[in-house]
Chain A
Amino acid sequence: MAERKVRILIAKPGLDGHDRGAKVVARALRDAGLEVIYTGLRQTPEMIAETALQEDVDLVGLSILSGAHMTLFPRILKLLQEKGLGDIPVLAGGIIPDEDIPVLREMGIAGVFGPGTSTQEIAEFINQTLKRA
């Protein structure tokens, strides 16, 4: 009998070239036992939503340090909704000003993680989120 594995898409939306954080998180989640689909730099919202659909992921993680999150995230969330993937939890990390966090939470982002977050904290949050779902 095969076992159930948690699958997560780690994506970098927009023209942002900072990929260290995304890679650190991707590796850490692999080491926490998840199957991590990493798609590399410069993903459009369409690419991210379609990849989430094809890979049938349990979660989507967005990494962004460019400052474009307030324009990109709503489009990604809308496309996920349109594809019937509205109930997939979406997490975000990178450089996100404090004042944006409540707005993003309101929009439907499940959790926001800034610089210095320990990867254990992220793995723990994922466990809790999936348990609640």
Chain B
Amino acid sequence: MEIVERLLAGDRRAAARLMSLIENDTSQAPRLMAALYSHTGHAHIVGVTGSPGTGKSTLVSELTKKIRAQGEKVGIVAVDPTSPFSGGALLGDRIRMQELSTDEGVFIRSMATRGSLGGLARATGDVVKVLDALGQDLIFIETVGAGQSEVEIARAAHTVVVVVAPGLGDEIQAIKAGLFEIADLFVVNKADREGAEGAVATLNYLLDMNQAEGERWRPPILKMVAIRGEGVEAVVDALKGHRGYLKKSGQLELRNRERSEEEVKRIIEEALWGRLLSRLEEGEWERMMLRIADRELDPYAAAEKLLESWGDLGKEG
């Protein structure tokens, strides 16, 4: 496939076009992934999550500058929410990444969630694969950070950075949103503000309470002032440290395998669902849903009836 060959040769325009193809039409993904999947698996994928305004974009920009100075190539996927009212989106993470936009070793892509709820877009994982195949060594995924369940990032990334900022009550928010379990690293950003020490202490206390027996990786808690580039080096070191831990402990393989499992499951689910719907007659689904609403039919009986069209697969084993 010509476009994939151009991508593999390092053509950035081909990379950008491929991302759009995947994002706009999922039916293209199978043949494209067939051509590029074997060229992925090299990159260290780092998720960055935390409430809006904690400084995620600023921090990703600073970390990227440092990593570039060490000679590695960086990819960034920045996800922002799609408006449920208009279907449009304002993608503004690049405002904080301006210095990176003309560095040939950096590729940034803004994505809208397009209705996905887990803090990422549906196609984010595949866009990351395009960056991986382009040869980026480290790929950041900045999530929406809407405080909703963002556990999807744990599946998409090798290393998850949870960013909090003092004074926002973010530490508590992090636990509520289920971010505590998925953090491999905490960054207390805006350490130039009052309350940073307190946030570190709270996180430490919470880690003591929550750390499971025998777990070998205790998430470091690092302070940063992203707008001044302070504390960047320690965070970059911690990212590398975590990558090293994943490799040595066998966790890397495990996480990669879990991700593949989830991916295959999701693909099967979507495919089966699509095929099921395509076999229905015009309006059949709507009529059935109305009958359920009117209590003429119960949901289990409806499902059973729909599964009948699947032959053996639809029968309970």
User: Beyond A2-B24, A3-B24, A44-B102, is A36–B86 a contact (Cβ under 8 Å)?
Assistant: no
Please measure, in the bound complex, the distance between the C-alpha atom of A30 and the C-alpha atom of B85, giving whole angstroms: 10
Neighbour of B16 across the interface among A33, A35, A44, A54, CB < 8 A? A54
Neighbour of A39 across the interface among B20, B25, B98, CB < 8 A? B98
CB <8 Å contact, B87 and A5 = yes
Q: Which residues of B contact A54 (CB under 8 A)?
A: 12, 16, 101, 107-109
User: Beyond A1-B27, A55-B110, is A39–B101 a contact (Cβ under 8 Å)?
Assistant: yes
Q: Mark B154-175, 1 if CB is under 8 A from A, else 0.
A: 0000000000000000000000
Please measure, in the bound complex, the distance between the C-alpha atom of A56 and the C-alpha atom of B92, giving whole angstroms: 16
CB <8 Å contact, A35 and B92 = no
Q: Which residue in chain A gives the minimum CB-CB distance to B24? A: A4
Min CB gap B187→A, angstroms: 23
Q: Mark B72-100, 1 if CB is under 8 A from A, else 0.
A: 00000000001101111111101100100
A77-119 at interface with B (beta carbon < 8 Å): 83-85
User: Beyond A47-B98, A51-B101, A54-B107, is A36–B90 a contact (Cβ under 8 Å)?
Assistant: yes
Tell me whether B44 is interfacial, beta carbon within 8 Å: no
Q: Mark B291-307, 1 if CB is under 8 A from A, else 0.
A: 00000000000000000
CB <8 Å contact, B102 and A46 = yes
Please measure, in the bound complex, the distance between the C-alpha atom of A34 and the C-alpha atom of B83, giving whole angstroms: 10
Min CB gap A59→B, angstroms: 14
Tell me whether A32 is interfacial, beta carbon within 8 Å: yes
Q: Which residues of B contact A5 (CB under 8 A)?
A: 24, 87-88, 112, 114
Q: Which residues of A contact B20 (CB under 8 A)?
A: 7, 56
CB <8 Å contact, B91 and A50 = no
CB <8 Å contact, A31 and B83 = yes
Number of residues from A at the complex interface, CB < 8 A: 34
Neighbour of B94 across the interface among A7, A37, A84, A85, CB < 8 A? A37
CB <8 Å contact, A30 and B98 = no
CB <8 Å contact, B88 and A31 = yes
Tell me whether B23 is interfacial, beta carbon within 8 Å: yes
Tell me whether B17 is interfacial, beta carbon within 8 Å: yes
CB <8 Å contact, A56 and B108 = no
Q: Which residue in chain A gives the minimum CB-CB distance to B110? A: A37
CB <8 Å contact, B92 and A38 = yes
Question: Could you list 22 examples of A-B contacts with CB < 8 Å?
Answer: A1-B274, A2-B24, A2-B25, A2-B26, A3-B24, A5-B88, A29-B88, A31-B86, A31-B88, A33-B88, A34-B88, A36-B88, A36-B90, A36-B91, A37-B91, A38-B90, A38-B95, A39-B94, A43-B98, A44-B102, A46-B102, A54-B12
**Chain A contact residues, CB within 8 Å of chain B:** 1-5, 7, 26-27, 29-40, 42-44, 46-47, 50-51, 53-56, 83-85
Given contacts A5-B88, A33-B87, A54-B12, 8 further A-B contacts (CB under 8 A): A2-B24, A30-B83, A31-B85, A35-B112, A37-B91, A38-B92, A54-B109, A56-B17
* Nearest 5 CB-CB pairings of A with B: A40-B95, A30-B88, A56-B16, A33-B88, A47-B101
